Amino acid sequence: MNILWLQASGCGGCTMSLLCAEKPDLFDTLGGAGIEFLWHPAFSEATGDEARRLLAAVESGKQPLDILCVEGAIARGPRDTGRYQMLSGTGRSMMDWVQSLAPLARHVIAVGSCAAFGGVTTAGGNPSDAVGLQFDGTHEGGILSADFRDPTGLPVINISGCPMHPDWVTETLLMLAGDALTPADLDSYARPRFFADHLVHHGCTKNEFYEYKASARELSEIGCMMEHLGCIGTQAVGDCNIRPWNGSGSCTRGGYPCIACTAPEFEEPRHTFTETPKIAGIPVGLPSDMPKAWFMALASLSKAATPDRIAKNATSDRVAIPPTLRKPKT
């Protein structure tokens, strides 16, 4: 199975994250499953005229293409010309190339939130008029129409995240290589359910603080970051706290609130990223699937019942009070 990887309007961070795959490393993981890069802008030897010839061969159908991976959003500006990103050496816009190549691939993958939904490339008024491959933020339809399907019936597969976890890409590729990914395995934003059926909240090491609404007030304090610091891990899809990042990490374990980077339009939360918007002191965004009244009732109860250890630790930058040891029975 071969992959043509294009870097559109993005930061290259998804490629860099992919290189952080471990156990085994990226090239072992893919090579062992017979997956190879036809061309990748960061890894391949072929450059300049060789790369242009390869693109021409794919476009003419002479070179079959199994998977087209696009990293980064697609710039449509200025004035719908796509000239904010020309694929260098070709005199053609990236928008033009992707529209030409996508129908030729057996599968199309949007790697990262920019390619999936527009992502950070579309923040702050979207100066380059960028858009995702098959989504424009939360709306269906990007530079490919909402009804685009690959020859196997799959839409563009959105491996969102800013960046995405390296395993999300390698596992998707391995599933495609084994014909093990069907439309039913994608959620309504076409994200693979193997990571999108989890919330970042699942496995969060701050869950005990969450249970008691024992909250951090400033960054670096170890309490729950939902109430004051903008964390939306209870609404964000991703298995970030179930499978580690870079060995043992996750944003919340690094003391940083989850900003739901797997979600469309996360780049414009309509409030400062690290501050929870509130009305009359009550956080506006509550956990998914929970009626507001219930949340309020439970939160006030649990706050009243918060053990001293948890309350003190929540506003400390390390464990200040260890768990009480049970005394041996006499």
Partner 1 sequence: MTDRNLLVGPFNRVEGDLEIRLDVKDGAVAAAYTNSPLFRGFEMMMLGKDPRDALTITPRICGICSISQSAAAAFALADAAGAEMPPQGMLVAALLHAVENMNDHITHFNLFFMPDFARPIYAGEPWHDEAVNRFTATQGSATRAAVAARAELFNIVGLLGGKWPHTLAIQPAGVTKSPSTSDKVRIQTTLRSFRRYLESELLGGKVEDFAAISTKEQLQNWTAGDAGRFLRIGQAVGLDDMGFGPGRFMSFGAYPLPGKRAFKAGVWDGGLKPLDTASITEDLSHAWMIGPDAHPTGGQTMPDEDMRDDAYSWCKAPRLAGQTIETGALARQIVDGHPLALALADHPSAWARVAGRLLEIARTQMLLEDLAAQIDPKERFMGHRDLPKNGEGAGMIEAARGALGHWTRFENGKITGYQIIAPTTWNFGPRDRNGVAGPVEAALVGAPVRDGEETPIAVQHIVRSFDPCMVCTVH
| Residues 274-293 within binding reach of partner 1 (CB under 8 A) | 274-275
CA 53 – CA 46 distance, rounded (Å): 10
- The count of residues interacting with partner 1 (CB under 8 A) is 83
Q: Which stretch binds partner 1 (CB under 8 A): 7-15, 134-142, 174-182, 284-292?
A: 7-15
| Shorter beta-carbon distance to partner 1: residue 181 or 259 | 259
- Element holding 3 (H helix, E strand): strand 2-7
Closer residue to partner 1 (CB): 148 or 215:
215
- Parallel, antiparallel, or unpaired for β 65-71 and 105-111? parallel
Smallest gap from Cβ 304 to partner 1, in A, equals 28
- The footprint of partner 1 on residues 68-97 (CB under 8 A) is 75, 77-79, 83-91
How far, in Å, CA of 67 to CA of 106, rounded? 6
38-46, 199-207, 285-293, 299-307 -> range binding partner 1 (CB under 8 A): 38-46
> Should residue 312 be labelled a site residue for partner 1 when binding is judged by CB under 8 A?
no
With binding defined as CB under 8 A, does residue 63 bind partner 1?
no
> From the CB of residue 34, how many other CB atoms can be counted at a distance below 10 Å?
9
Question: How far apart are CB 127 and partner 1 at their closest, in Å?
Answer: 3
Cα 205–chain centre separation: 20
b (16+ CB within 10 A) / e for 82-118: bbbbbbeeeeebbbbbbeebbebbbbbbbbbbbbbbb
Encoded tokens for 127: 């100066």
Q: Which of 252, 247, 73 is nearest to 166 (CA)?
A: 247
Determine if 150 is a binding residue for partner 1 (CB under 8 A). no
Q: How far is the CB of 192 from partner 1 (least distance, A)?
A: 19
Among 32, 43, 145, 197, binds partner 1 (CB under 8 A): 43
> Footprint of partner 1 on residues 213-272 (CB under 8 A)?
218-220, 240, 244-256, 259, 261, 267, 272
Per CB under 8 A, does 34 bind partner 1?
A: no
Q: Is the peptide bond before 287 cis (omega within 30 degrees of 0)?
A: no
DSSP assigned state of 119: G
> Quick one: which of 11, 175, 177, 242 contacts partner 1 (CB under 8 A)?
11
